[in-house]
Chain A
Amino acid sequence: MNELTRRQLMKSGVALSTLATLGTLLPQAALALDELTVIAPAAPGGGWDQTARSIQEVLQTSGIVKAVQVDNVPGAGGTVGLAQFANSKGDASKLLVGGLVMVGAILTNKSPVTLKDVTPLARLTGEYEVVVVPAASELNSMADLVAKLKADPGSVSWGGGSAGGTDHILCGLIAKAGGADVTKVNYIAFSGGGEALAAIVGGHVTAGVSGIGEFEAQIKAGELRALAISSPERLPGLDAPTLMEQGLDVELANWRGIFAAGELADGDRQALLDVIDQMVKSDGWKNILSTRGWMDVYLAGDDFASYLTAEDERITAILKEIGLVS
C-alpha cells in the first residue's frame, strides 16, 4: 500500500511539474465522484493506446463518466501492465485494455499473472489480418503460396510484427491448415509496422502479414497484392478473397477488449458492464469505429469470458506447434 501511494504521489508530481503546460490545454472536467482510469499496457501510438484514448474520449464527451484518465504502462506485450493491474484487486475505478496479443504474450513470456487474475468485461473491436506479397511477386493466390510452402517451408519468409504476436500466429495457422511443416515456418519478426512494411514492399521477404489497416493504403496504391484476408466473409472496400474460400480453414481477428480488476464485487462488475454497454451503443463510439476502421465485435460478460477460454486454448496449441511455447 505504502508503495502504491508513493507511486501515485510521484505520478501526480510528474504530472504537475512537467506537464503543467499541457495540463492547461486539456479539457478540464468538473470534480466528480465517478472517475475512471484506463490503463493502456503499451506505449503511446499503438492499438491499445488508441483504444484506451478512444474509450476516454467517448466516455467523457458523452458524459457517461465525468473524468477518465489514460495511463500508459508499456512493456512485454502488455504483461507488464497486466502484472501491475493485477495488484488492484477489487478496485472498480480502474480498467485495463488488452487483447489477442496479450493472450500470446502471457504464454511466450511465461507471465506469472494471467487473464484469470482479472475480470473480463467485453471484447470491443477487432481487426482482421491480410496476407500480402509485393506487386512484383510471382505468387498470385494462396494456392501458389501454400504450394511453395509445402515444397520448402523455409523458402517462404514471412514478414510481420513481434514474435508470438497475431501475425506470427496467423502464419502458423496457415501453414498448419495448408499441410506444411509448422515447425519450419520461417517467420521474420520486425519491430514496428513501418519496418515490416518497408521490407515487404522492398521485396526483402516473400510475404507479409499484418492488420488490414497497416497495409490498406499500399494495397490500394498497387504496391502490394492482397492474397487473402482472415475474416469469415469478404470485406467491403477491399478486393481480396478470404482464406476460407481458398480452402484454408483459418479465421483470425486481432481483437481488443477491456478488463476490470480481479475479485470484483458483483455490483461493481455490473456497473462497469453497464458503462461499457452504454459506451458501445453511443454515436461517438460508432464514429470512432468507422474512422479508425475497426470492426465492431462487441461481446460482453460471461460470453466474453467463455470466448476467452476457447481462444486461450487455440493460441496455446498453435504456439506450441510453432515451438515458441513448450
Chain B
Amino acid sequence: MDTLAALLNGFAIAFTPANLLWSLLGVTLGTAIGVLPGIGPALTIALLLPVTFHLDPTAAFIIFGGLYYGAMYGSSTTSILLNTPGETGSIVTAIDGHMMAKKGRAAAALATAAIGSFVAGTIATVGLSFVSPLMVKIALLFGPAEYFSLMILAFVTVSALLGDSTLRGMSSLFIGLAIGLIGIDTQTGQARFTFGLLPLLDGIDVVVVAVGLFALGEAFHVAYRLARAPDELSRVTGSLWMSKSDWSRSWKPWLRGTAIGFPLGSLPAGGTEIPTFLSYLTEKRLSKKPEEFGQGAIEAVAGPEAANNAAVAGVLVPLLSFGLPTSATAAILLAAFQQYGLQPGPMLFSANSTLVWALIASLYLGNFMLLVLNLPLVGLWAKLLLIPRPYLYGGILMFSMLGVFSLNNAVFDLWLLLGIGVVGFLMRQMDYPVAPLVVGLILGPLAEGQFRRAYAIAQGDVSVFFTQPISLALLLVAALCVLGPVILRRMRR
C-alpha cells in the first residue's frame, strides 16, 4: 500500500495548476515533433535542457514525460493520414492505417490509435509503478544469445508483412538487409560497403529509408497517376467515429499490444519497433479475416499503436529503477537527471521518491491530456485529406525533406532520400511491398550484432542459442509461428 500512497501523493503534486500547464506544454510540443520525421524526443529534450534547468526538477520532468508520449501520438497521426511515419515505432501503423484513410476511414483509424495509445499508456504506467523492480530482474536475464533469438522471432513476423507474393516480399526484405550492412561494423569498427563516402560510415538512417519509401514513394505514385487521370477528391464515407464493430475489433488488440509492448520495451535492447512487428503478427494470426491485413484492418492499427506506447513506458522501467538508458531519449533523460544531481538507479525511488512519483503521476496525466486533445481533433485531422492532392503531396514532400535534413544537418541525406523515394515509387509500380524492406533494415543490423556478440562470448560455440533456456524458448515460439499454421492445416484435412 506504500506504493499507492506515494502515487496519490504524486498525483497531488502533478495536479497543481502550474504543473498541469507544463504537462500541456509537453504534450503539445511532443505531438508537434512526433509529426515531423527526423526530429525526435531526444533532440527536443536536449534543446530544452538549458531552458528547463531553470525550472524545478518536477516541472521539467513533467514536460519531458508529456513530450515523450506526445511524440508517439503525433507520429501515428502522420502515419495514418500521410503515410509518413514520424518515428520508427509507427512504421507498421502506416501499412493498414493509411489504407484505412484511403478508404475514407481515417477518423476511425485515428480514434483507435489514440484510444489504444491511451489504454496502453495507462496500463503500462501502472506497470511502471508496481512491477519495475521485477521487470528489471527479468530484463537482466537477457544477454546477446537471448536477444538474437528474440530477433529471430521478430523476423518470423516479417512473413505477416510480406503481402500477397512471398517472392516479392522476400526480395524486399533482402534489399533491406543489404542496406543494413552499410556502415561501420559494430564488432570490429571496420567500414563496410561505404565506397569511401564519409556520410555512409554510420549507415543509412531508418528514418530516411522509411520516409523515402513511404512518403516520397507515395507522392511520386500519386503524381504519376494524376498526370494521367483527373483528381478525384478523397471521400470521407461512413461514420466519422468508430462503429460498434470497430470497438469490438479494437479492444483486444489494445490489450494484447500492451502486453507485448511493455515487457519488450523494458528490455535494454528492446526498442519500440520490435513490439509493433510482433503485435502485427499476433493480430494477423488471431484474426478471422487475415486477408484484410494490408488492406486496412483496424486490428493492425489498434495493436501496434498500443504496443509502441506501452514500449515507451517500458523504456522508463530500466531507466528509473536501474539507471539504465536503453534508447537515445532515455540517455538524454538520464543526462537531465544528472543535471539536477539525481542519479537514477536502485536508490532513486527511496532517495527522491516525491519526484519519481510525481513523474509517474504526470505520465498518467499526460496520457489523459493527449486523449482529450486528440479525440476532438480526429475529425479535423481527417479533413486534411480533403486538400487537393497536388497541395497535400507538395506539403508532404516539403515536410519530409525538412525532417530528414534536421536528422544530421546533411544535404547528403536529402539526395539519399530522393534516391530511396524513386526506389519506393518503382517498387509500388511493380507491386513490391515496402514494409519488409524497412523491417529488414531495422532488424538485420540488430540481429547480426547480437549474434556476433553471443558467438564471441561463447568462443565460437553455436550451441549457446539452444542451451540457454530463454533463448531456446524464444526459438521454439518462432518455430511454432512458422510451423503451427502448416501443421494445423494438415490436421484439418
Q: Which residues of A contact B (CB under 8 A)?
A: 3, 6-7, 10-11, 13-14, 17-19, 21-22, 25-27, 43-46, 49-50, 53, 56-57, 71-76, 79-80, 83, 108-112, 154-155, 157, 162-164, 168, 186, 188-195, 197-199, 201-202, 204-205, 216-218, 220-221, 223, 291-292, 324
Which of B99-107, B373-381, B382-390, B401-409 contacts the other chain? B401-409
A158 to chain B, nearest CB (A): 10
Interface flags for B162-206 (1: CB within 8 Å of A; 0: not) read: 000000000000000000000011111111000000110110000
Interface flags for B112-156 (1: CB within 8 Å of A; 0: not) read: 000000000000000000000000000111111000000000000
**Chain B residues, Cβ within 8 Å of A27:** 50-51
Q: How far is the CA of A61 from the CA of B359 in the complex (A)?
A: 29
A14 to chain B, nearest CB (A): 5
Contact among B202, B330, B335 with A75 in the assembled complex (CB-CB below 8 Å)? B202
B46 close to A18 (CB less than 8 A):
no
If A109-B191, A198-B324 are given as contacts, then 9 extra A-B residue pairs at C-beta distance below 8 Å, sorted by A number, are A18-B39, A25-B51, A44-B47, A79-B201, A193-B331, A198-B139, A202-B142, A217-B345, A217-B347
Q: How far is the CA of A22 from the CA of B46 in the complex (A)?
A: 11
Known: A79-B198, A109-B191. A188 touches B325 (CB 8 A): no
Known: A73-B408, A108-B189. A292 touches B201 (CB 8 A): no
A194 close to B331 (CB less than 8 A):
yes
Q: How far is the CA of A11 from the CA of B401 in the complex (A)?
A: 12
For A46, give the chain B residue with the smallest CB separation: B331
Q: How far is the CA of A13 from the CA of B409 in the complex (A)?
A: 12
B307 to chain A, nearest CB (A): 21
B189 close to A221 (CB less than 8 A):
no
B201 close to A194 (CB less than 8 A):
no
B318 close to A201 (CB less than 8 A):
no
For A157, give the chain B residue with the smallest CB separation: B457
B198 close to A80 (CB less than 8 A):
yes
Q: How far is the CA of A109 from the CA of B199 in the complex (A)?
A: 12
Known: A192-B331, A194-B318. A10 touches B459 (CB 8 A): no
A73 close to B409 (CB less than 8 A):
yes
Q: How far is the CA of A221 from the CA of B350 in the complex (A)?
A: 13
Report 7 cross-chain contacts, Cβ distance below 8 Å, ordered by A residue.
Answer: A10-B411, A18-B402, A22-B44, A80-B198, A155-B459, A168-B189, A204-B457
Range of interface residues on chain B?
A: 35 or more
Q: How far is the CA of A17 from the CA of B409 in the complex (A)?
A: 15
B411 close to A7 (CB less than 8 A):
yes
Q: How far is the CA of A221 from the CA of B323 in the complex (A)?
A: 11
B335 close to A188 (CB less than 8 A):
no
A291 close to B51 (CB less than 8 A):
no
A324 close to B341 (CB less than 8 A):
no
**Chain A residues, Cβ within 8 Å of B325:** 192-194
B50 to chain A, nearest CB (A): 6
**Chain A residues, Cβ within 8 Å of B269:** 195, 198
For B184, give the chain A residue with the smallest CB separation: A76
Known: A22-B29, A154-B459. A189 touches B47 (CB 8 A): no
B140 close to A198 (CB less than 8 A):
yes
**Chain B residues, Cβ within 8 Å of A26:** 47, 50-51
**Chain B residues, Cβ within 8 Å of A110:** 191
B328 close to A25 (CB less than 8 A):
no
Q: How far is the CA of A7 from the CA of B143 in the complex (A)?
A: 43
Contact among B43, B339, B345 with A221 in the assembled complex (CB-CB below 8 Å)? B345
For A25, give the chain B residue with the smallest CB separation: B51
Q: How far is the CA of A324 from the CA of B408 in the complex (A)?
A: 27
B186 close to A163 (CB less than 8 A):
yes
Q: How far is the CA of A109 from the CA of B191 in the complex (A)?
A: 7
Contact among B185, B268, B328, B332 with A198 in the assembled complex (CB-CB below 8 Å)? B268
B42 close to A45 (CB less than 8 A):
yes
A118 to chain B, nearest CB (A): 16
